[in-house]
A and B are shown apart, each in its own frame.
Chain A
Amino acid sequence: MTSAAATPMSARYETVIGIEIHVQLKTASKMFCRCPTDIEGAPPNSRTCPICLGLPGTLPVANRRAVELVLETGMALEAEIVPVTRWDRKNYFYPDLPKGYQISQYELPLTRNGRLAFETSEGPVTVGIRRAHLEEDTARLVHAADPGGRRVSLVDFNRSGMPLMEIVTEPDLRTPEQARRYAEELRLLLRAIGASDAEMEQGQMRVEANVSIRPVGEAAFGTRAEVKNMNSFRSVERAIAYEVERQERVLDAGEPLVQETRGWDDDRGVTYTMRIKEGSDDYRYFPEPDLPPLRADPAWLEEIRGRLPELPAARRGRYTAGLGLSPYDARVIVADAGATALFEETLAAAGGLGLAGVTPKLVANWVSGEYLRLAKQATGEEVELAESAGAAARVRPEELARLIGLVADGSLSGTSAKQVFERHFTAGEPVEAIVTDLGLTQISDRDALAAAVEDVIAANAAAVADYRAGRQQALGFLVGQVMRATRGRANAALVAELLRGGLDDGGTTG
């Protein structure tokens, strides 16, 4: 082993990561034509018109809603809004681009110089946002073989002209985890705004990472690789971690890195060369003559700013500082749309029902614990960032509020409550009906418990003697015996009190 290999790799190199994310905007019609955007599952080439097919003689007209969603995103990212912006043509030839150019924004993106803060296991991080601009999506290509075995590409123009926002960070990120957390936080923000559903598996959010390494202390950037085809947040983290290791191996072997585009193979857990970049791409950008410039009128901007909802970071802050939730609960709940809705609605329902004992902390425990556990079982989602919105519909907020109320006022034990909740989640019956059906109401009546306590004292002479000899653990055993006799329905605190009373008095045995 060489001395270099004995040093941890991360101690010798610094990783530099910049992220480019494309998201499909949530509009009803395409970017420059009126074709509907319901392309998911639609038959190929059934959502096209002369404009998005790039036929001669057509004139694009920009979708106001798409422009507004980018402006709103820029505001949420604390970015500068460019007062006057225009469109540019990015020229290249590819079968997914019917006009031979893509309408995009080059010199004057709608917004620039923003930032986004997010949490990581090593503390909070803020990444600079270089720009967020608007463009049109390309057609979709499917690679196939025809019946004769000839390899062909098939083109579906449904996606052509869908509104696309590109968000580019500064090269501020330093670890694969930071890259993943940034992408997750951005997705939460976009969903909160309603700018995009940002489903990675459906290609509504495409993450590309520019990854390079440089010796620690070196100011100049190393040769970068652009990593693509990462289809989940987990892939983003794994792909970048692999790429960093690969670059370290190349440099340690004394070989040069080449600037290239690399794809991520999720099954094999490696990146592979897709395209070597020889010189910079020459897209011959020039101003789009068919679209007039866009001036961001202050009144229009104010109207858009007024629509901004509570953003994920602000919501987490309100949950911790305002409602007393733990940072963990706040993070877990805000990361999941279904959990957030259930938490908010259960609190509101508790207020409506006058259940003062149902505190935000108690509701949060149920939502981040039992609810998300069952939701993940039901949907089979990844542990983090589960999309439990569908599962949330299974739980009625007022029923969850009632259930928590029953535990809070001592009518139901914690163990029984979990049983009731699971049945409500699965079968949807009202909480009261389940409690009655299962005979689970907690016994908190002294007289009702007295007989059981006396029986246990009579039947367990050895434990009683131990307790009287000063061994407190014996009390726990005796409480357990009463719980067993009442099938878990007894109020444990009351049982302990009754047992102590009976034993300390000298009691009925002896």
Chain B
Amino acid sequence: MAALSHADVAHVAHLARLGLGDDELTRLEGQLNHILEQYRVLAELDTEAIAPTAQTIELENILRDDLPGPCLPVDEALAGAPERAGDHVVVPPIIAGLDE
């Protein structure tokens, strides 16, 4: 497990849209590498016989029936919007055509 570089930390911070100063990046670089160190210790365990999982609770197939329910009134749905025009939420302009 290679250690994180200063540039790696800056990249992750950018992806998360965190505006961090150089001091903060340096501090986090140390903390994140410390966490990775602990994983290096965990990686020493023999896990050959254990299936990989992404879950910590043993639940499966929790599904619901396709039945519609009530919605929020528009005013309530938009109560937290930074700005409103009619029944739309207003946000800074996004270049036309880029919406996925």
Residues of A within 8 A of B (CB): 27-29, 33-37, 43-50, 53, 61-67, 86, 91, 93-96, 138, 140-144, 146, 151-157, 228-229, 263, 274-275, 282, 284, 287, 289, 291-295, 297
- Per the bound structure, the CA–CA distance linking A229 and B97 in Å amounts to 8
Interface contact B68-A35, CB-CB below 8 Å: yes
- Known pairs A63-B66, A156-B89, A289-B56; list 12 more (Cβ under 8 Å): A34-B68, A35-B68, A35-B71, A36-B68, A43-B74, A43-B87, A46-B74, A48-B77, A96-B100, A229-B97, A294-B60, A295-B60
A-B contact count (CB 8 A): 142
22 contacts between A and B (CB under 8 A): A29-B66, A29-B69, A34-B68, A35-B68, A36-B68, A36-B71, A44-B74, A44-B86, A45-B78, A48-B71, A61-B64, A64-B64, A94-B100, A142-B88, A143-B96, A152-B90, A155-B91, A156-B88, A263-B97, A292-B55, A292-B62, A295-B60
Q: Which residues of B contact A229 (CB under 8 A)?
A: 97
| Distance from B94 Cβ to chain A, minimum over Cβ atoms (Å) | 4
Most central of A28, A151, A152, A297 by chain B CB within 10 Å: A152
Residue of A nearest to B78 (CB): A45
Q: Which residues of B contact A293 (CB under 8 A)?
A: 54-55, 60
- Per the bound structure, the CA–CA distance linking A152 and B92 in Å amounts to 5
Residue of B nearest to A156 (CB): B88
Interface contact A47-B97, CB-CB below 8 Å: no
Q: Which residues of A contact B71 (CB under 8 A)?
A: 35-36, 46-49
Q: Which residues of B contact A49 (CB under 8 A)?
A: 69-72
Q: Which residues of A contact B90 (CB under 8 A)?
A: 146, 152-155
Interface contact B67-A34, CB-CB below 8 Å: yes
Q: Which residues of A contact B98 (CB under 8 A)?
A: 274-275
Q: Which residues of B contact A156 (CB under 8 A)?
A: 87-89
| Distance from A151 Cβ to chain B, minimum over Cβ atoms (Å) | 4
Contact partner of B66 (CB less than 8 A), chosen from A64, A289, A295, is A64
Residues of B within 8 A of A (CB): 11, 15, 17, 54-57, 59-72, 74, 77-78, 85-94, 96-100
Interface contact A53-B77, CB-CB below 8 Å: yes
The 3 closest A-B pairs by CB, nearest first: A34-B69, A287-B54, A65-B66
- Per the bound structure, the CA–CA distance linking A141 and B97 in Å amounts to 10
Interface contact A64-B85, CB-CB below 8 Å: no
| Distance from B87 Cβ to chain A, minimum over Cβ atoms (Å) | 4
Interface contact B68-A284, CB-CB below 8 Å: no
Q: Which residues of B contact A155 (CB under 8 A)?
A: 88-91
| Distance from B32 Cβ to chain A, minimum over Cβ atoms (Å) | 14
| Distance from B74 Cβ to chain A, minimum over Cβ atoms (Å) | 5
- Per the bound structure, the CA–CA distance linking A48 and B91 in Å amounts to 18
- Per the bound structure, the CA–CA distance linking A310 and B94 in Å amounts to 44
Interface contact A292-B57, CB-CB below 8 Å: yes
Q: Which residues of B contact A138 (CB under 8 A)?
A: 99-100
Interface contact B15-A282, CB-CB below 8 Å: yes
- Per the bound structure, the CA–CA distance linking A282 and B68 in Å amounts to 35
| Distance from B82 Cβ to chain A, minimum over Cβ atoms (Å) | 11
